[in-house]
């Protein structure tokens, strides 16, 4: 069984990843586009502006986000005491997100990374306690005994289930706004950390491989079809999560699948060096093990809605077009002229359009479908 490589920042072997972390922080300080993902996922712009110029190194990063997280926690506690539970719930989720940034910045398995993740997990659960929505914490097992942990949120009288498949370096706690919007629209959500992600990686010590991801997606869909026997199943994912959404669309139990900027074969992508170095800490990057589907082998069954930004620097336009042409089922293509990878500035709109499509409402008036 493949195990995580446990190292600490003091080890000589870890020195290369220190350079990666510093490169990541330098990118965060200098390049606005770096923050698009985090802003759309719930980081406050005013909060970011307070600390961005002070992000000099790992120590500054950790202290800055910890301070902001503590501030959000205090605000949430005050609102909770005053009976403003919905507002307090959101602030606890922001608290979790800010601790998640400290979990995320160092990709190596370590006690410090576990510490920050557990802080993030603590406050997402605190938010769940205040929520009117029923939340369950479950896990699924794949064939080699690996355990993948997740959360299920169930509104009253759900009309369907949306499986949120997260980007490779993300966690189920990061995408809380997706859950909230989908639940508010009447859908149950299932968000599990796949191999190499979040709780599955840092607590269960499971790294990502192609075989494990194939099993994870199939098991998750099977689990959903049993737990929510009468409800239709929909998939939603971005980046590498979108790639596995396309793989999952071959499952007979899936009704519709939304893929936002799916990643393709590594040799066809323009991946930043620092990001590849980060990925190498939690997944296997060898040809047969790299956790990207064999796209030519996918037997598409469900309808597919694909989103792409024409300024995507990671996935070239012609490669995305080739991928789309290989999808031999009912499919729609929505392209944004000025968006990059993951179409971050349009994700609020993308989620709304996806909900319309899942609800069998026409979306042709909002965008052109090809």
What would the pLDDT profile of 74-121 be if each residue is shown by its tens digit? Answer: 999 999 999 999 999 999 999 999 999 999 999 999 999 999 999 999
Percent of the chain residues topping a pLDDT of 70: 94
Higher pLDDT, 240 or 367: 240
Confidence band of 326 (pLDDT split at 50, 70, 90): very high
The answer on pLDDT for 159 being more than 90 is: yes
Quick one: average pLDDT of 269-286? 88
Quick one: average pLDDT of 174-185? 97
Q: Say if domain 134-370 classifies as CATH 3.40.50.2300.
A: no
Percent of the chain residues topping a pLDDT of 90: 85
The reported pLDDT for the residue numbered 245 is: 98
Quick one: average pLDDT of 245-270? 95
Region of poorest pLDDT, from 11-15, 186-190, 267-271, 330-334: 11-15
Confidence band of 292 (pLDDT split at 50, 70, 90): very high
Confidence band of 7 (pLDDT split at 50, 70, 90): very low
Quick one: average pLDDT of 220-236? 97
The answer on pLDDT for 265 being more than 70 is: yes
The reported pLDDT for the residue numbered 272 is: 82
The reported pLDDT for the residue numbered 128 is: 98
Region of poorest pLDDT, from 58-62, 143-147, 194-198: 143-147
The reported pLDDT for the residue numbered 10 is: 39
Q: What is the mean pLDDT of the chain?
A: 92
The reported pLDDT for the residue numbered 368 is: 45
Kindly report, as residue ranges, where domains of CATH 3.40.50.1820 are found in the chain. Answer: 134-370
What would the pLDDT profile of 42-87 be if each residue is shown by its tens digit? Answer: 999 999 999 998 899 999 999 999 999 999 999 999 999 999 999 9
What would the pLDDT profile of 305-320 be if each residue is shown by its tens digit? Answer: 999 999 999 999 999 9
The reported pLDDT for the residue numbered 2 is: 52
Confidence band of 264 (pLDDT split at 50, 70, 90): very high
The reported pLDDT for the residue numbered 4 is: 58
Structure tokens at 311: 């300024």
Multiple choice CATH, 1-132, 3.40.50.720, 1.10.10.10, 3.40.50.2020, 1.20.1440.110: 1.20.1440.110
Kindly report, as residue ranges, where domains of CATH 1.20.1440.110 are found in the chain. Answer: 1-132
The answer on pLDDT for 8 being more than 60 is: no
Q: Find the helix packing angle between 210-227 and 240-248, rounded to 10°.
A: 60
CA distances to 247, 271, 335, 338 from 312, rounded to whole Å, are 21, 11, 11, 9
The reported pLDDT for the residue numbered 273 is: 81
């Amino acid at each position: 069984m493949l195990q995580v490589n446990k190292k600490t920042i003091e080890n000589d072997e870890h020195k290369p990843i220190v350079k990666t972390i510093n490169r990541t922080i330098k990118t965060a300080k200098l390049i606005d586009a770096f923050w698009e993902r985090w802003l759309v996922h719930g980081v406050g712009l005013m909060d970011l502006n307070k600390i961005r110029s002070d992000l000099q190194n790992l120590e500054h990063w950790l202290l800055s986000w910890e301070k902001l997280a503590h501030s959000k926690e205090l605000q949430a506690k005050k609102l909770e005491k005053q009976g403003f539970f919905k507002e307090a719930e959101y602030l606890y989720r922001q608290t979790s997100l800010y601790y998640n940034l400290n979990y995320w910045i160092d990709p190596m398995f370590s006690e410090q990374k576990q510490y920050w993740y557990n802080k993030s997990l603590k406050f997402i659960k605190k938010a769940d306690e205040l929520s009117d929505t029923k939340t369950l914490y479950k896990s699924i097992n794949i064939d080699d005994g690996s355990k993948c942990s997740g959360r299920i949120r169930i509104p009253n009288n759900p009309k369907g289930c949306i499986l949120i498949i997260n980007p490779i370096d993300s966690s189920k706690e990061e995408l809380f706004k997706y859950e909230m919007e989908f639940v508010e629209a009447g859908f149950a959500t299932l968000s599990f950390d796949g191999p190499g992600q979040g709780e599955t990686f840092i607590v269960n010590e499971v790294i990502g491989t192609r075989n494990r991801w194939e099993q994870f997606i199939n098991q998750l869909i099977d689990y959903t079809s049993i737990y929510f026997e009468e409800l239709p199943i929909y998939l939603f994912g971005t980046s590498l999560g979108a790639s596995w959404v396309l793989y999952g669309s071959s499952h007979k139990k899936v009704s519709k699948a939304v893929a936002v900027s799916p990643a393709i074969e590594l040799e066809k992508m323009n991946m930043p060096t620092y990001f590849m170095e980060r990925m190498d800490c939690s997944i296997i990057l060898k040809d047969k093990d790299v956790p990207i589907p064999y796209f030519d082998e996918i037997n598409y069954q469900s309808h597919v809605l694909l989103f792409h930004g024409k300024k995507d620097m990671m996935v070239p336009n012609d490669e995305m077009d080739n991928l789309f042409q290989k999808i031999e089922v009912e499919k729609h293509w929505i392209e944004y002229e000025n968006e990059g990878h993951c179409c971050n500035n349009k994700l609020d709109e993308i989620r709304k359009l996806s909900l319309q499509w899942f609800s069998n409402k026409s979306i042709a008036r909002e965008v052109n479908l090809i």
